Structure 1
């Protein structure tokens, strides 16, 4: 995902959830409260990597269309 974003000139902030307890807690709160994760949890996936658009307006789990990111 990082390579895709960089290769297409998309500005992003990469956050590694294992770097700190704070990052992990933020991820777990999103995963536990956002309906976008329901199907992912149902099929037993973790749900990473993912992209958060506009401070949580939208979550994207697969390689996005570039129009979604600009």
Structure 2
């Protein structure tokens, strides 16, 4: 699919897809390399707190 088709399909700005592609290209060797992305760092923030915030923002956007 073209960039424009992807952006329309996923309802997002083409620049976002371009940014993600660049990030993947920069980190692909680390993620898909021999160590397979085994990171020792913990996730930033509590997952339940982040999910709650996502829900809150979704409700705000729907209003």
TM-score, normalisation: structure 1: 0.29
Indicate the structure with greater helix content: 2
Greater Cα radius of gyration, structure 1 or 2: 2
Indicate the structure with greater strand content: 1
Between the two structures, name the one with larger relative contact order (CA 8 Å, sep ≥ 6). 1
